[in-house]
């Protein structure tokens, strides 16, 4: 077990894991820990590692429990890029036809528009685009820059985020959390002395970044 100084344990705030990418039980199994002495510390580190992963990927891998409202500019009359949408449950899409900030017209899923990518559900990934499919609506269905200028013309109410945590993001969280935990016994990254001299911790940031970078999202204003 890691010998964390008492003053450090006092400093760590008590917290449950909120939207973490690994459970406390999985983390303890990964580290072969059987007691509960450092549970609070581990929960804090899991939370910190999870939020660090969010920053690397420029997205988060948990889903909202309730739908919230966000506004988007339609850079095309045919499609609208959105933040990650975890599910079509609770999804409402409205447009500002008058260009005055009033989203009075509600569009119908699978009649006026579809959610892309089409394989999102099957792959356990989020939807990231609304695509027009209606032949009956007056053109354009999504008020674009020519109609609304820079005013956001589309209002989306949805449960944003990812439907579930990808397995490699879970592993990245375990690796990063374990590294943070072990560093408490390794001031300056030094684990100790061996026959060949100083034994240092290997840098894991590069490995974790490589694992998460495959999910990195390019921001679109």
Taking the model in full, what pTM does it have?
A: 0.79
Number of Cβ within a 10 Å radius of residue 159: 20
Q: Could you tell me the two tokens for 45?
A: 């580190």
pLDDT in tens, 117-134: 999 999 999 999 999 987
Highest-confidence segment of 3-7, 75-79, 173-177 = 173-177
Where along the chain do its domains lie?
1-58, 68-160
What residues contact residue 38 under an 8 Å CB cut-off, 6+ apart? Answer: 1, 2, 4, 181
| Average per-residue pLDDT for the chain | 83
- Once rounded to an integer, what is the mean pLDDT over residues 23-46? 95
- Among the residue ranges 57-71, 146-160, 169-183, the one predicted with the least confidence is 146-160
Closest CA to 33 of 172, 169, 181, 176: 181
Q: Taking the CA atoms of the chain, what radius of gyration do you get in angstroms?
A: 23
Alpha-carbon distances, residue 137 vs 45, 84, 131, 176, 206 (angstroms): 51, 26, 13, 50, 50
């Amino acid at each position: 077990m890691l010998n964390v100084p008492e003053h450090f344990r006092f400093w760590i705030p008590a917290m449950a894991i909120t939207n973490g990418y690994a459970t406390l039980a999985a983390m303890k199994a990964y580290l072969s820990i059987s007691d509960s002495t450092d549970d609070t510390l581990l929960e804090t580190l899991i939370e910190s590692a999870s939020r660090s992963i969010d920053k690397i990927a420029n997205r988060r891998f948990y889903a909202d429990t309730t739908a919230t409202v966000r506004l988007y500019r339609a850079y095309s009359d045919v499609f609208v890029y959105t933040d990650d949408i975890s599910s079509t449950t609770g999804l409402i899409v409205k447009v500002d036809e008058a260009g005055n900030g009033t989203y009075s017209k509600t569009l119908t899923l699978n009649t006026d528009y579809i959610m892309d990518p089409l394989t999102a559900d099957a792959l356990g990934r989020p939807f990231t685009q609304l695509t027009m499919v209606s032949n009956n609506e007056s053109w354009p269905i999504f008020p674009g820059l020519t109609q609304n200028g820079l005013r956001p013309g589309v209002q989306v109410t949805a449960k944003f985020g990812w439907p579930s945590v990808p397995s490699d993001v879970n592993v990245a969280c375990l690796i990063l959390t374990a590294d943070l935990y072990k560093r408490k016994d390794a001031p300056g990254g030094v684990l100790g002395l061996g026959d060949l001299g100083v034994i240092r911790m290997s840098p894991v940031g590069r490995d974790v970044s490589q694992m998460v970078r495959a999910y990195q999202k390019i921001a679109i204003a």
